[in-house]
Structure 1
């Protein structure tokens, strides 16, 4: 009970405090600072506040597309689930779509609690039934078809306290409608698969993003993107090809490898080729990844990339929590890019094979100096911190500890 009281107090302190918010028209930048670190973003609201407000504002319906679900007693995240439950209790229709393979990372007790929320329908979708080897890796929601959230935060208590995460609260009506269409497509795909039917491809050829817009959504996989939604894989390559001076990237991990049968890692050159091409033109690239990226064979590719002129790579290791080891936490999970102080990329995808080509992921591109600079500053803060160290191209890194000691 004492833990729950503390969590409630934290929530009230957050929601009752002066409204710190960094936004441009239609988009608010939202950030999770890992507790017990020296990192700080006082001008950015946390998802605990933003998600709670979104659920509280719901009048008709809420849809969520998530990779997995996890909470625990006493966590501040429990308040988010309480707000979602309150929405269901007052008659809001809730549809929750989760990747079936996400069960391995989920807390099944939390899933059962969600299923008991009034007016909530919970479904699993095995996304590999659409693409052969993909997952729902996106993390997003839409409320009343008026506001959406897209970001790196999973529906996980750790993502709200112990992981470096970044997302966007979106009120741009065009993009909100597109996110809703993506959910509606995948929800219907689940119905077709449950009936033993094939899910028809929506696109045979690659659909280019409408980058005449200042801000726009791109998504993957291209074959199952609704009309008007461009392909994220080709757009990422296009943006890197247009870079003139500097690119800053922050990721959980990076490797020009995909995921094949029997734990094989087929070569996936799309993004790596684009980065190497930018470097060859004289563009400086600063790539920041988590210490999870020191796992073999990915670390070998990182060390190779670090040898190229203009390339800087830093590996971030966050300190363990004072409470002890927390599995699958204390890591940077943000997926952002900033280009030339002009363009920001904020999304849900890892930059390796299987994500931008085969899995459901969403990314927002913002051609806005203010947002680009804020993403650059967010990158710089961690880059300059004691947690980030330049990659050692000669070091034989030990296998990172992720799930257990």
Structure 2
């Protein structure tokens, strides 16, 4: 498990040591057992392509060897020849070579002198050889260090099509895309069908489509008889398979190594990259976004799952002709690609994956003819190179900048971090309490009620709601979105992951669970848009998102959180207690929560 802090990222928010006596595994993967009708597909052989740093290292090492070895050999040979005692001419002292007078030194003394001279020269030779060896070893170590740096960082990076911060497009069109299940009676309120939005991106593709998704289960053949809208998944899969015939490259990043659909897409020319988050952070790949031709992007709750196009209630946004944001989001795609086949997080990142926009330096753009600001975010901390914003910090920024209200719609709300022992994760929970109590911000929290809802969700939501029971000018409301059950099939699970305030929206890939922000890979997008001119009649994206939230909030599927009327989301559900009683139950091993 990686625990290194990434350059440019602040440390994660502190967690309080409130321990619970049970361990609960929380995941967002929807488990559905079904059999594909396709014939078995042989997994394509995966070849590890050496990086540019490897070739550079080999060339550098070869050059050093050619440069150092000949000079070392020449020096050794020269000194070796000079140091040998001559057998033809006896080595004597200069005084002994004089022709006049009798010999002064005996033969033994002459031999001793000759031996001492030879030994002295030999010591000098050995010392010289040692120096050469040390120098050569240092040069090799330097070459290895350079190779390691270049292997971890792709100097040339990913081709960005000549698009830079200076020439990218800052005038964009943005739409909200939703999937509303057929049997859920909710109007679209000016939003676009998710299926139509994704197909429009494929219609615009000319060079490449880059997709990051946690799921790849688009084939819906086995379900189309009972769920007519399930065919949308199969149709989208076929369009992705046909991209190569249209000379459009499909590039995919996924954490799934045994997906049948990814194998089939690979056979149809797709470039598949695997990111093993389990090895890197002991987490999962939950990012979900598209980048098309470095111009258009999608980001939202929906993955490449036929249920996301039929039975799940999904929400996301699509931005057209917005190459500045696309450029920054594509850098996140490149970051994932750099981690393929790696079991460690690089300590040095390529500048091509640094963030372009953040809270301190947001992108100033014109969005649907209204001025706006925006920047992407991602998680976890160790995947945040320089100038990138963490998802949790993006959420903090939106909460802190709110002046009137904060509306939140998420699949799960659980301020816990579970790693063997559950700990209270106060990051978001504490910010909401501050907004309500200290700034009198109106907060509404809409959470899904479904089969994987953690029982402690009710306790935490009731704890929040109880803040305003006896305080004037304090408003915090909580509701559950209960899906429709038809013929044993649950439709309309609220899979949304967004927040809207009076001046900004945040779209993310996570349920608001501590583990997801700490361990899992995800992405988000912040858009700030506030009407400055009262006479401006253009509807802002903030207003549209607020209308979507209020539609869901006032629908017949949303039920107010009440102490004695909690809906049963799964068979393990327990009723919430008061905050005091819940605190006492933590220390009592016989309490209902202790067995969860």
Q: Secondary structure at the match of 2:480?
A: strand
> Aligned residue for 1:54?
201
**Inter-partner Cα distance in structure 1 for 2:453 and 2:301:** 21
Cα 1:255–1:202 shift into 2, 3 Å: farther
372, 375, 378: which one aligns with 1:219: 378
Give 1:39 deviation, angstroms: 0.4
Residue pairs, 1:260-279, within 5 angstroms: 260-261=419-420, 264-279=421-436
> Aligned residue for 1:372?
542
> Aligned residue for 1:94?
250
> Aligned residue for 2:181?
34
Query: Which one has a bigger Cα radius of gyration?
Result: 2
**Inter-partner Cα distance in structure 1 for 2:571 and 2:296:** 37
Cα 1:190–1:301 shift into 2, 3 Å: same
Deviations 1:77-118 (A, max 9, x none): 2111111111122332222111249x7xxxx443443333x2
> Aligned residue for 2:443?
285
Question: Structure 1 length normalisation: TM-score?
Answer: 0.82
**Inter-partner Cα distance in structure 1 for 2:349 and 2:461:** 35
**Inter-partner Cα distance in structure 1 for 2:204 and 2:337:** 23
> Aligned residue for 2:341?
191
> Aligned residue for 1:14?
none
| Number of residue pairs matched by the alignment | 361
> Aligned residue for 1:115?
266
CA contact (8 A) 1:181 1:226 kept: no
> Aligned residue for 2:489?
325
Give 1:305 deviation, angstroms: 1.4
Give 1:294 deviation, angstroms: 4.6
**Inter-partner Cα distance in structure 2 for 1:26 and 1:45:** 13
Q: Secondary structure at the match of 2:197?
A: helix
70, 84, 88: which one aligns with 2:240: 84
> Aligned residue for 2:300?
151
Q: Secondary structure at the match of 2:282?
A: coil
CA contact (8 A) 1:219 1:225 kept: yes
Q: Secondary structure at the match of 1:303?
A: helix
552, 558, 581: which one aligns with 1:388: 558
CA contact (8 A) 2:358 2:387 kept: no
Cα 1:69–1:162 shift into 2, 3 Å: same
> Aligned residue for 1:142?
291
- Unaligned regions of 5+ residues in structure 2, if any? 1-170, 225-230, 364-372, 469-474, 531-539, 573-596
**Inter-partner Cα distance in structure 1 for 2:404 and 2:189:** 29
Cα 1:294–1:361 shift into 2, 3 Å: closer
> Aligned residue for 1:315?
480
Deviations 1:159-179 (A, max 9, x none): 112112111112322210111
- Unaligned regions of 5+ residues in structure 1, if any? 1-23
Cα 1:113–1:275 shift into 2, 3 Å: same
**Inter-partner Cα distance in structure 1 for 2:389 and 2:330:** 15
**Inter-partner Cα distance in structure 1 for 2:293 and 2:435:** 41
**Inter-partner Cα distance in structure 2 for 1:349 and 1:169:** 18
CA contact (8 A) 2:179 2:309 kept: yes
> Aligned residue for 1:3?
none
Q: Secondary structure at the match of 1:138?
A: coil
Cα 1:398–1:25 shift into 2, 3 Å: same
Give 1:228 deviation, angstroms: 4.1
155, 158, 161: which one aligns with 2:310: 161
Deviations 1:176-213 (A, max 9, x none): 011111111111101333xxx5533659xx99633544
Q: Mean alpha-carbon deviation: is it higher for 28-37 or for 353-362?
A: 353-362
Cα 1:239–1:57 shift into 2, 3 Å: closer
**Residue 174 (structure 1) aligned with residue 324 (structure 2):** yes
CA contact (8 A) 1:304 1:393 kept: no
**Inter-partner Cα distance in structure 2 for 1:62 and 1:226:** 24
CA contact (8 A) 1:259 1:354 kept: yes
What value does the CA root-mean-square deviation take over the aligned residues? 2.6
Deviations 1:323-365 (A, max 9, x none): x415xx530011111112x111122121121223332222111
CA contact (8 A) 2:358 2:376 kept: no
